[in-house]
Amino acid sequence: MKKGSMKTVLQFFILLCMIQAASFGQTIKLSGVIWDEEGQPLEGVVIADSLGHVLSQSTQNGIFSLEIQPNQQICFRKPGYIDTCLAYSDSKDQNRIVLRLKSTQMNAVIVSGQGMRIKSLESTKVGVTEIRVDSIRQLPTLTGEVDPLKILQLTPGVGKFDLSSGLLVRGSTIDQNLVIFDEGMIYNPTHLAGFISMFNPYVVEKITLIKTGLPVDYGGRTSSMLLAESGKNPSSNRIEGNVGLLLSNVAVHRSLGNRCWSTVAFRRSYIDYTLKPFSKQFFPNSRSFFQSSSYNFYDGNFIVNYRLTQQDNIILSTYLGSDNFTLNRTAFELKYDMEWNNKMASMQWTHYFNARHISKTSAYFTKSNLRLFIGQSNFNYRLISTNEDYSIKHEHRFYINRFKIKIGGQYLQQWVIPNRSAAVLNELQANFGTPNEYHLSTLSGYAESEIAFSNRFLVSVGIRENVYTHLGPYSQFVRSADTRVITDTLYYPYGSVVKKFNTLDLQLLLRYKIDSLSALKLNVGRNNQFVQQVNVTTVALPTDFWLPASHQVPPLVAQQMSIGYYRNWYSNINLSVEMYYKWFNPVIEFDKGLLQSLSKATMEENILLGKGRSYGIELYVEGSLERWAGWISYTLSRSERVFAEINQGRPFPSKYDRLHDLTVVLMRSINFHWKGSLTFTYASGQATTLPVGRYLVGGNIVNQYTAYNGFRMPPYHRLDIAFSRILKSYRGMNHELVFSIYNVYSRLNPYFMYYKVSGDLKRYKLTVTPQYVALFPMMPSISYRFSY
């Protein structure tokens, strides 16, 4: 070859390489919104390359954006939908991708979908547990019906207690957790003091628990947030339900025109009718407590999902739940009636300006009400406790390249009657002091910004300012310092300011992606809470009332730090390790029992203020392999309190402190007809105060107690199993029978301890033996589930 032509070829080759190199360096940008066939945005859609490596996922409003190579094939995937694969040669935004549904199969083993795995790596969220109700339907149950709240107790950081009327997260008390259902707040998310939750498994599609404090677009609580959402994408008109031994449940999903969907659901218990006839068998010699008492509950949901225009979507969600307990002992002329109910109505309106700008307006009304009546011959006692809230919120979200910005404001109006009593003995009306009710208003503004500094490093900063005002009418007693006798009453008229607090909530999150399969995250935050629940008994009951911040009770401030490490393996196994440290100030305790409080003029005067802290480490492994799926969760934690007036000012473990908490959940698809599942839980014993000594006064034996919560009860452990048998489809109706056994080896986990004293002092014989009360022995159940 001639030297000159070699040089030309070389130059040409280099030029070609350079062009190639230049085009290799070039990436194209894609963004848009992913919809389903009904025009609803789809979140959690995974965007993967041809090798299955995940590149991105769609956000809550169906928005996605990513950078890829030109002509690289990418696939849009979501469980239950048919994959859509495309290749782009050039940058394009405003893409509109529509995914079509696969036909649903009830007998598929669906566990942690890919969506869950990717979320934990991509997002900045630390301490988030997400449960899709579909994936947990086959787990063992207590009542025959799967309960999302009970399943949450099987995940790390969530305390497991047989009867607790709410969530206990990372050493918190029940009132420190915000429960939101369809953007509406719920005060009491359980029935029968925690036996079953308000979440109907045929209405609620997804539950997300954020354990590291509240994100700034929500406020008013300090520990965690539970976000429950109803199904946004119903696949077709259907009726589904569950018929069990203790309760039944029916949900109807129907389209009303081609842009509107509705869900109507109703549940009711009939424990009285099924258990009462059996109670005679089990308690033949008892004083028939069962015969004279009755308990039932019902709840209902009505949800409408309306796509007003291509850019507007409205969801209306309503909930009503009611519990009733009565006791009638004619021998003593005693009548006891306790009724509590929860109502909620919410509206959400999402407006899509374009693929980069969305606004969301939501409003809710929630009311929680307790009514107690005790009558004995001519003595009557009534108690009411009410909470009523109205809220409106408006926010804008912007998605601009590496930035995600959220700005919004919320106005909340609350009316609280903590505890209003009235007692009448013949003609005389007892004077319980001025009943107080509270009128509160909270105005908040927030802003959150998420910045992707690089592909690896993501930072999110959020800030929320709250202005909380306690308004009149309100009466405040002034006591003289020495005699403690009330000398004056300050009266605040309607609308005047009794007390005002101006607080700041902060959230800082950092995510560092070590490689495509593992990430490290850090979260630091601070939240304020204005209304706290006062626990007047040693167990959580609906009689525990809410007390707002005012002169005597300041707002609760909680600060927390958590750090987490997350790792995924291709064979569908995920691991997460999280450590947290929280501290709260002030926490409140009620001074002595409820019934002793009546010597003080107002409820607030019975409150003691102290400090608390909790810290721990959570390990979590989940995965699915062929026909097996499940998870293991282990938490090691401590939760402490310090009060000057309790335990001589020395720190003591909180009521919910449990050192070890282990759960193992396994699910298996045995064959085409049968599925099985198993859960095993183990937790350290609860702390309680125990008598250590006795002495004689007034001819009676009286107790001397340990340090406050100075004794540990025996550990709690239990095994549950369930089997479901898919029955032959009949005319398009899918149905199955579920057999479940709660507490298979019938361990009588102690719930409370008391002591039986027997003997006769006069004969110098006395025996005291400790007795435990356990709640649930082995409880089998059968239920029939259908979907048509």
The answer to whether residues 169 and 213 touch, using CB atoms and an 8 Å cutoff, is: no
In the bound complex, what is the minimum distance in angstroms from residue 287's beta carbon to other proteins?
Answer: 7
Shortest CB 187 distance to other proteins, Å: 20
Separation between Cα atoms, residue 503 and residue 22, nearest integer Å? 53
CA 241 – CA 248 distance, rounded (Å): 8
Tell me if 285 contacts other proteins by CB under 8 A.
no
User: Is residue 671 at the binding interface for other proteins, with CB under 8 A as the rule?
Assistant: no
Residues 707-726 that bind other proteins (CB under 8 A): 708, 714
Closest CA to 724 of 734, 743, 737: 737
Give the count of beta carbons closer than 10 Å to the beta carbon of residue 89.
9
d(CA 564, CA 300): 39
477 binds other proteins (CB under 8 A): no
Q: What is the largest CA-CA distance in the chain?
A: 128
271 is an interface residue for other proteins by CB under 8 A: no
- Binding to other proteins (CB under 8 A): which residues in 323-362? 327, 329, 332, 334, 336
- Beta carbon nearer to other proteins, 34 or 541: 541
Distance, CA of 64 to chain centre: 28
Tell which positions 597-636 bind other proteins, by CB under 8 A: 598-599
Q: Binder to other proteins among 495, 700, 728, 731 (CB under 8 A)?
A: 700
* b/e sequence 652-668, b meaning 16+ C-beta within 10 Å: bbbbbbbbebbbbbbbb
DSSP letter string, 466-478 = EEEEEESSEEEEE
The C-alpha R_g of the chain, in whole angstroms, comes to 29
Interface with other proteins includes 698 (CB under 8 A)?
yes
428: contact with other proteins by CB under 8 A: yes
By CB under 8 A, which span of 33-41, 134-142, 339-347, 683-691 interacts with other proteins?
A: 683-691
Of 102-110, 420-428, 445-453, 459-467, the window that binds other proteins (rule: CB under 8 A) is 420-428
Nearer to other proteins, 335 or 394 (CB): 335
* Residue 342, phi then psi, degrees to nearest 5: -130, 135
By the 10 Å C-beta count (0-12 exposed, 13-18 middle, 19+ buried), 282 is classed as exposed
Total of residues contacting other proteins (CB under 8 A): 81
CB of 765 to other proteins, least distance (A): 6
The residue (of 351 and 382) whose beta carbon lies closer to other proteins is: 382
Listed ranges 231-239, 296-304, 666-674, 693-701: which one lies at the site for other proteins (CB under 8 A): 693-701
651 sits near other proteins (criterion: CB under 8 A): no
Of residues 728 and 762, the one with the C-beta less far from other proteins = 762
Taking CB under 8 A as the rule, which mask of x and - marks residues 100-139 in contact with other proteins? ----------------------------------------
**Binders of other proteins in range 769-788 (CB under 8 A):** 769-775, 777
Q: Return the range that interacts with other proteins (CB under 8 A); candidates 430-438, 460-468, 545-553, 575-583.
A: 430-438
706 binds other proteins (CB under 8 A): yes
Residues numbered 753 to 772 that lie near other proteins (CB under 8 A) are 754-755, 757-762, 764-772
* C-beta of 431 vs 571, nearer to other proteins: 431
Nearer to other proteins, 306 or 379 (CB): 379
Q: CA of 250: how far to CAs of 85, 227, 266, 788, in Å?
A: 38, 23, 6, 11
- Among 699, 728, 732, 745, interactor with other proteins by CB under 8 A: 699
Comparison of 392 and 539: residue with beta carbon closer to other proteins: 539
3-state secondary structure of 114: helix
Return the bridge partners of 374, or none. Answer: 336, 381
Whose tokens are 């007047």? That residue is 536
159-161-167 Cα angle (round to 5): 50
Burial per residue of 176-214, b for 16 or more beta-carbon CB atoms within 10 angstroms, e otherwise: bbbbbbbbbbbbbbbbbbbbbbbbbbbbbbbbbbbbbbb
> Quick check: helix, strand or coil at residue 392?
strand
Nearest approach, Cβ of residue 475 and other proteins (Å)? 16
- CA-CA distance, 272 to 292, in Å (whole number)? 11
Minimum CB separation of residue 686 from other proteins in Å reads: 11
The mark string for 512-551 relative to other proteins (x by CB under 8 A, - otherwise) is -------------------------xxx-x----------
